[in-house]
Structure formats: structure tokens, C-alpha cells
């Protein structure tokens, strides 16, 4: 069900498309190109919530979240949910410099808000095209706000497809490609992916998906002919769709893991299949070609990262680094007492920032033949969502709080 602002207000946002995006925006899960890379950022190596060392600010937010934050201009955007069955959903904007609240909106979820106690209705990381904010929830409510926090449109996808959802919760994050907000809603009931026009909120396309639980997020890829695709992975296959139309562009008939998301990197796809499989998807007139796979390189809950010419993976507190060209294992490094890691790390310059669910952060210096833990930091919070990076700061969405880690 679509709820829209009057046409004369919506038209203002069309005019805004010509505005250039700031270079340091972190607009979605895993940042620019969903790569988890911030090559020029220089966040602090050491920080602590107990001593407040290099903690620029900490802000309490309403309710809980298992997703990450995004950064649009000078606004840090985070979602949360609380109340009876977590039906009250929030989008909050915080000033990135001061930590002061800029605006906050709340709605009542219309879909199934039930999740595992460890998770939250606000499990997906929001997304932005630089002009609008797209907040998605486990209840399959999709909300679009402008940068002033005003409602542009609202879709209750669960009202349209009432069997969408599962009792463990949904957590796939939205992706904006070619002016389309893509959501991946895979479960045992109404299982589908959909493309929604970013400006109008109109449903552009919907495709059926395997009726099995899946928590991975869609990934963007641009082929040699310039076509912009969205890649969907499931336990059955890997599918590339034209972002604007939903038309099938390719299909790879082997499944991927249900939690880590695919990484598209320079025409290649890195999927969690038989450990890690790398596909060549550059040619627009051919099906994906397997370049290599290696069962010793396996993503856990975290999505893969490519840094320089290496593949970086985390599973069970073990860092594995392989060669992107041939899939050979370069080295492994065990992170001491890591516990559970759900947050996909980020790479800043040549440092990997790995957050555990208990708020411990390992800062790892990445090298060609070895890696070294150069700092172990503690944040007194539960960290499940991936960090956002802007400038030389990390923005962490804790269970009920938002943190800025930056040098003082």
C-alpha cells in the first residue's frame, strides 16, 4: 500500500537529482558500491568507551536496532524499533559534528514485527540516494523521507503481500540502483524481490524468489555495456536483474549462504558458495563464468571484502586472506577471544576494523603475507550492524545508542 505526498511536493525532489553527492557520504550497507572500503579515511586506532578516549559523542536513541547507520552530508541516519512487539518504528537524524538530534520520525509497523530476541524490527541498514532516506524494517514497511525528515512516500509491503515474513525476523538491507530502491524479501511464505521507484514510491517490478529464509542483501554491479544490475543470492541460485525493470540478465545455478551478502568487484562476483566462489560477470552477452572456488576461504556471518589484490574474510574469529586472482590462501590470523561477529568489517587505508557483538573492536594491519592486531578496543554496547565511515570517523549503531569514534 502506497502513501504519497501531494504531487507538487514530490516534484521538488526530482529537481534535486542534479545536486552532486558529497564525497564522504556512506549511503548504504557496506558504503559506496557496497564494498566496505574507505581508502582515504583515517579513524583512530585506539578508542574506549570507559575512558572516553577518541569517543567524540554518544547519543541514546529510542528502541533497539540490529542494523548499521548511514551518513548523508552532515547527518547520521539510524533506525530503531520499540514498544509492543516492536511495532513503533523510528528514523532518527543526528548531526555528525555535534551529536545533537536534527529530526526524528516515527510510524507504526503494519507488517509482522516479530523477530528473534537477539535481533530487532530495525534490523536492515537504511539507504539513501543523497536526496532521500529509505528506511526498511523486518516488518516489510518501507519508508521514504526527505533530508528534512518529512514523509515523501510509504509502502506497507506486508499489506500487499501478507505472508511475507518469518518469526526469526528479516534483515536484508535495501539497495538504491539507477533510481530504484531494491528490497529482497525471502521467506517461506510470500517470497519475492521488488523494485520501487525512488522518487514516486511506485512499484516498478516484483519477481518471485525461492520460498526459503534468506537474510543476505542485494548487491550492485555495472556490466561492460553500462547496464546497472542488482544481484540477488539465495540457497538455490545467483540472479542478476536489470535494476530499472527487474528483467533477468543472468542466472548462476548454484546457491549461496543465507547470511553473508555478495560482493561485486570490478566485474566479478564473490559469493559464499563452496567456501568462496568468484564469478566473472563482466560480459553483458554471456552467463557468469566461474573463475575459482576455495572451501578454505569461507565467509561466516560477514560479507567478503576485496582490499588491494586480496580477498578478506572473517569466520568464527579467524581472519582469512586469499589471492583474488587465483583463490589461493595467503594467510590466516586468529582474533583472540573474539566471540560472535555479525558486523561486516570496514577497511580504512590498510587497516581492518572488526567489531564483535560484545563491542570489542580489533584493528588489524593488513599486509601482503601476514596481518597483525595493532589494537583491541572496547565499546560498552552490543554491535550487530556494520560501521559507517565518513571523514576520519567511525559511526557505530549500538543496541540502543549511536557512537562517533574520532580523534580528539
> What are the pLDDT digits (tens) for 285-315?
678 899 999 999 999 999 999 999 999 999 9
Average pLDDT score over the chain:
91
DSSP assignment, residue 14? H
What confidence score (pLDDT) does residue 342 get? Answer: 95
pLDDT at 2 over 90: no
pLDDT in tens, 60-71: 999 999 999 999
- DSSP class per residue in 59-125: EE-SSB-SS--EEETTEEEEEEEESGGG-EEEEEEEETTT--EEEEEEEE--S-----TTS-S--S-
Could you tell me if 48 and 82 are in contact, meaning their C-beta atoms sit under 8 angstroms apart?
A: no
Cα angle for residues 152, 158, 159 (degrees, 5° grid):
80
Flag whether the pTM goes above 0.85: yes
Could you tell me if 129 and 157 are in contact, meaning their C-beta atoms sit under 8 angstroms apart?
A: no
What confidence score (pLDDT) does residue 169 get? Answer: 83
d(CA 45, CA 55): 12
**The total number of structural domains that make up the chain:** 1
d(CA 178, CA 342): 29
pLDDT at 26 over 50: yes
pLDDT at 4 over 80: no
Q: Which domain does 329 fall in, by range?
A: 2-405
Over residues 243-268, the mean pLDDT reads 92
pLDDT above 90 covers a percentage of the chain that reads: 77
SS3 category, 17: helix
pLDDT at 17 over 50: no
The CATH number of residue 308's host domain is: 2.140.10.10
Residues 6 or more apart in contact with residue 326 via CB below 8 angstroms: 292
| Among the ranges given (114-123, 170-179, 396-405), the one the predictor scored with the smallest mean pLDDT | 114-123
pLDDT in tens, 118-169: 789 999 999 999 999 999 999 999 999 999 999 999 999 988 888 888 778 8
pLDDT above 70 covers a percentage of the chain that reads: 94
Per-residue confidence band for 270, with pLDDT thresholds at 50, 70 and 90: very high
Over residues 317-334, the mean pLDDT reads 97
**Which of 104, 106, 39 lies closest to 402, judged by CA?**
104
pLDDT in tens, 326-367: 999 999 999 999 999 999 999 999 999 999 999 999 999 999
d(CA 113, CA 21): 34
Residues 6 or more apart in contact with residue 20 via CB below 8 angstroms: none
pLDDT in tens, 171-213: 899 999 999 999 999 988 889 999 999 999 999 999 999 898 8
Residues 6 or more apart in contact with residue 80 via CB below 8 angstroms: 61, 62, 63, 64, 65, 89, 90, 92, 120, 122, 400
Amino acid at each position: 500500500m502506497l502513501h504519497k505526498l501531494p504531487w507538487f511536493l514530490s516534484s521538488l525532489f526530482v529537481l534535486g537529482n542534479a545536486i552532486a553527492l558529497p564525497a564522504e557520504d556512506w549511503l548504504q550497507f557496506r558504503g559506496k558500491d557496497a564494498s566496505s572500503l574507505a581508502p582515504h579515511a583515517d579513524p583512530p586506532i585506539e578508542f574506549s568507551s570507559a575512558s572516553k578516549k577518541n569517543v567524540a559523542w554518544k547519543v541514546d536513541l529510542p528502541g533497539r536496532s540490529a542494523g548499521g547507520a548511514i551518513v548523508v552530508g552532515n547527518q547520521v541516519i539510524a533506525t530503531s524499533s520499540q514498544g509492543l512487539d516492536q511495532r513503533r518504528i523510528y528514523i532518527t537524524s543526528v548531526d555528525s559534528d555535534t551529536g545533537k538530534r536534527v529530526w526524528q520520525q516515527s510510524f507504526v509497523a503494519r507488517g509482522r514485527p516479530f523477530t528473534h530476541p537477539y535481533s530487532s524490527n530495525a534490523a536492515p541498514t537504511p539507504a539513501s540516494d543523497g536526496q532521500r532516506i529509505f528506511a526498511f524494517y523486518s516488518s516489510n514497511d518501507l519508508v521514504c523521507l526527505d533530508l528534512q525528515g518529512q514523509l515523501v512516500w510509504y509502502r506497507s509491503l506486508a499489506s500487499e503481500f501478507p505472508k511475507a515474513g518469518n518469526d526469526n525476523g528479516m534483515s536484508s538491507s535495501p539497495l538504491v540502483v539507477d533510481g530504484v530502491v531494491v528490497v529482497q524479501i525471502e521467506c517461506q511464505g510470500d517470497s519475492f524481490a521488488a523494485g520501487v521507484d525512488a522518487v514516486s514510491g511506485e512499484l516498478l517490478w516484483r519477481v518471485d524468489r525461492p520460498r526459503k529464509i534468506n537474510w543476505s542483501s542485494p548487491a550492485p554491479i555495472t556490466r561492460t555495456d553500462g547496464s546497472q544490475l542488482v544481484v540477488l543470492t539465495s540457497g538455490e541460485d545467483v540472479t542478476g536483474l536489470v535494476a530499472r525493470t527487474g528483467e533477468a540478465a543472468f542466472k548462476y545455478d548454484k546457491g549461496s549462504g543465507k547470511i553473508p551478502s555478495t560482493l561485486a568487484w570490478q566485474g566479478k562476483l564473490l559469493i559464499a558458495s563452496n567456501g568462496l566462489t568468484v564469478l566473472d560477470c563482466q560480459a553483458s552477452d554471456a552467463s557468469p563464468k566461474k573463475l575459482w572456488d576455495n572451501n578454505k576461504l569461507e565467509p561466516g556471518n560477514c560479507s567478503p571484502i576485496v582490499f588491494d589484490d586480496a580477498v578478506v574474510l572473517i569466520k568464527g574469529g579467524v581472519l582469512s586472506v586469499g589471492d583474488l586472482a587465483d583463490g589461493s590462501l595467503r594467510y590466516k590470523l586468529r582474533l583472540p577471544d573474539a566471540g560472535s561477529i555479525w558486523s561486516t568489517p570496514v577497511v580504512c587505508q590498510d587497516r581492518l576494523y572488526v567489531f564483535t557483538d560484545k563491542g570489542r573492536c580489533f584493528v588489524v594491519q593488513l599486509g601482503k603475507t601476514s596481518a597483525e592486531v595493532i589494537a583491541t578496543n572496547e565499546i560498552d554496547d552490543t554491535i550487530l550492524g556494520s560501521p559507517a565511515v565518513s571523514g576520519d570517523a567511525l559511526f557505530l549503531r549500538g543496541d540502543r545508542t549511536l557512537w562517533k569514534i574520532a580523534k580528539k
